[in-house]
């Protein structure tokens, strides 16, 4: 029995009226398994079905066909148990949309503690403070309203809220997309650290291959609702061969080169850090690349990482 089993899952949405209804097949016959403690990334362009699949995995909506089993039993039911809700948590892209601006940081983290009755009322404050402090929000800021935090701080609070439920699996749906690059690096490191500390399993949805590369162990590429390619060891990233996967890599590297000192820098094929790599650009030798703040997890495949190691 796997920790999570996705078995031939499909999802069809119906839109339009009675006479002009249209079917959208968002997810088509997707199967994969996940083991406890790993991070599996789902990548794909907008509309490829990533979020729909993620929502089904955490039981927010039913499948049309196929089934999803978490620790051996079906995830979705009309009356999902509290234990199951507790075990499957989410962190979304836009923290402002998923928090009540009038709530304080402490109140946001208190929600799952209270709902799942995880901590006796008299101990809640202490637990909130510990979780928030671990996320870098000091005690002095616990009672500030959500609206007064920056995007990065609020995302930290949302991560604390997910952790407060003592989850087994966290769905990270584009958790960094709305943040500045420097903040992204900090949150990425935080996500990596707490994964070990709290023995978490991550299902990461992202269109950012660099984020995927740092955080994930495995990778699934989706295209028009289908899984078109799967890499079971992220360090073999360069072996991606499906034309659509190669397009994704090219999009990641060239997008960067477009803004890279306004020069036409040719990235090294297969290295997603190519445009930030010291070897790829003379000017970068004298500059501090943004991703220096991120600790490379898989050093061999990143030129910059290899050079770091030698220093
Ligand atoms: N509730 C819904 N009702 C109707 N169609 C939907 C619904 N949710 C998603 N879809 C459609 O299903 C398809 C897949 O959408 P989904 O949001 O899962 O893709 P995605 O890869 O996560 O894209 P993005 O990165 O833009 O979020 C799209 O065509 C979308 O319009």
**What are the mean pLDDT values of the chain's consecutive 10-residue runs (311 residues total)?**
96 81 92 96 91 95 96 88 92 90 96 93 96 96 95 95 96 90 83 94 89 89 94 84 79 47 40 38 40 33 34 31
Q: Which of 232, 258, 289 is the C-terminal boundary of a domain?
A: 232
At what angle are helices 181-197 and 151-164 packed, to 10 degrees?
10
Closest atom of ligand 1 relative to the 15 alpha carbon:
4
Same structural domain for residues 70 and 216?
Answer: yes
Note whether 246 and 221 are same-domain residues.
no
Per-residue pLDDT, 189? 86
State whether 291 and 203 are in the same domain. Answer: no
Distance 206 CA to ligand 1 centre (A): 14
Pick from 26, 48, 206 the residue to mutate for probing ligand 1's pocket: most ligand atoms within 8 Å of its CB: 26
What is the Cα–Cα distance from 11 to 113, expressed in whole angstroms? 32
Residues 279 and 285: beta-carbon distance below 8 Å? no
CA of 57 to the centre of ligand 1 (A): 15
Q: Please give the structure tokens belonging to residue 144.
A: 């500030």
Residues 200 and 166 in one domain: yes
Q: How many CB atoms lie within 10 A of CB 116?
A: 15
User: What's the CA-to-centroid distance between 123 and ligand 1, angstroms?
Assistant: 41
pLDDT at residue 40, rounded to an integer:
97
Helix axes 105-115, 121-134, angle to 10 degrees: 130
For residues 74 and 211, membership in a common domain is answered with yes
Residue nearest to atom 12 of ligand 1 (CA): 26
Q: 201 with 306, same domain?
A: no
Q: What is the pLDDT of residue 86?
A: 93
SS3 6: strand
Q: Hey, which bits of 152-307 come out as E strands?
A: 169-173, 201-206, 218-223, 226-231
State how far the Cα of 135 lies from the Cα of 113, in Å rounded to an integer.
Answer: 17
Domain count for the chain: 2
Say how many C-beta atoms besides its own lie within 10 A of residue 173's C-beta: 21
**Does 270 share its domain with 167?**
no
Nearest-atom index, ligand 1, CA of 61: 1
Cα–Cα dist 296/266, whole Å: 22
Residues 178 and 271 in one domain: no
Q: Which residue's alpha carbon is nearest to atom 11 within ligand 1?
A: 26
pLDDT given for residue 250 in this prediction? 67
Parent domain of 275:
238-311
| 211 & 285 share domain | no
Q: Are residues 243 and 160 in the same domain?
A: no
**Residue located nearest, by CA, to atom 7 of ligand 1:** 13
What is the distance, to the nearest Å, from the Cα of residue 299 to the centroid of all Cα atoms in its chain? 21
Q: Is 55 in the pocket of ligand 1 (CB under 6 A)?
A: no
Q: What is the pLDDT of residue 251?
A: 65
Q: Examine the domain organization and report whether 191 and 289 are in the same domain.
A: no
How far, in Å, from the CA of 178 to the mean position of ligand 1?
18
ipTM: 0.96
Tell whether 178 and 276 lie within a shared domain.
Answer: no
Domain boundary, last residue among 184, 207, 232? 232
Q: Tell which phi-psi region holds residue 265, choosing left (phi > 0), alpha (psi between -120 and 50) or beta.
A: beta
- pLDDT at residue number 292: 32
Residue 61 near ligand 1, beta carbon < 6 Å: no
155 Cβ inside 6 Å of ligand 1: no
Domain boundary among 187, 202, 232: 232
* pLDDT at 110 (0 to 100): 96
* Residue 118, both tokens: 């995880």
Ligand 1 atom with least separation from CA of 48: 21
| Sign of the dihedral through C-alpha 208, 213, 218, 221 | positive
Ligand 1 center–CA 52 separation, angstroms? 6
How far, in Å, from the CA of 42 to the mean position of ligand 1?
14
Alpha carbon of 287 to ligand 1 centroid (Å): 39
| Cα distance between residue 123 and residue 126, in whole Å | 6
């Amino acid at each position: 029995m796997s920790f999570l089993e996705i078995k031939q899952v499909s999802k069809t949405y119906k839109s339009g009226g009675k006479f002009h209804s249209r079917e959208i097949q968002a997810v088509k016959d997707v199967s994969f398994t996940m083991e406890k403690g790993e991070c599996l990334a789902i990548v794909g362009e907008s509309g490829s079905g990533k979020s729909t699949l993620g929502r089904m995995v955490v039981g927010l909506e039913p499948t049309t066909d196929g089934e999803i089993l978490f620790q051996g039993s079906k995830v979705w039911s009309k009356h999902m148990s509290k234990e199951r809700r507790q075990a499957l948590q989410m962190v979304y892209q836009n923290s402002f949309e998923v928090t009540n601006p009038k709530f304080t940081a402490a109140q946001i983290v208190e929600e799952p503690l209270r709902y799942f009755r995880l901590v006796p009322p008299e101990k809640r404050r202490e637990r909130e403070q510990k979780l928030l402090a671990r996320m870098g929000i000091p005690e002095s800021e616990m009672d500030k309203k959500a609206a007064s935090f920056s995007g990065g701080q609020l995302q930290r609070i949302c991560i604390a809220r997910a952790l407060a439920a003592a989850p087994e699996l966290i769905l990270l749906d584009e958790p960094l997309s709305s943040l500045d690059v420097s903040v992204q690096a900090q949150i990425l490191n935080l996500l990596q650290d707490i994964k070990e500390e709290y023995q978490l399993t991550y299902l990461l949805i992202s269109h950012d291959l660099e984020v995927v590369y740092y955080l994930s162990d495995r990778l699934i590429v989706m295209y028009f609702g289908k899984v078109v390619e799967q890499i079971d060891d992220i360090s073999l990233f360069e072996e991606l061969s499906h034309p659509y996967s190669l397009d994704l890599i090219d999009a990641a590297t060239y997008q960067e080169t477009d803004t890279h000192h306004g020069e036409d820098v040719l990235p090294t094929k297969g290295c997603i850090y190519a445009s930030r790599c010291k070897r790829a650009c003379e000017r970068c030798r004298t500059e501090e690349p943004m991703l220096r703040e991120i600790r490379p997890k898989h050093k061999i495949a990143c030129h910059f990482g290899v050079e770091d190691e030698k220093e």
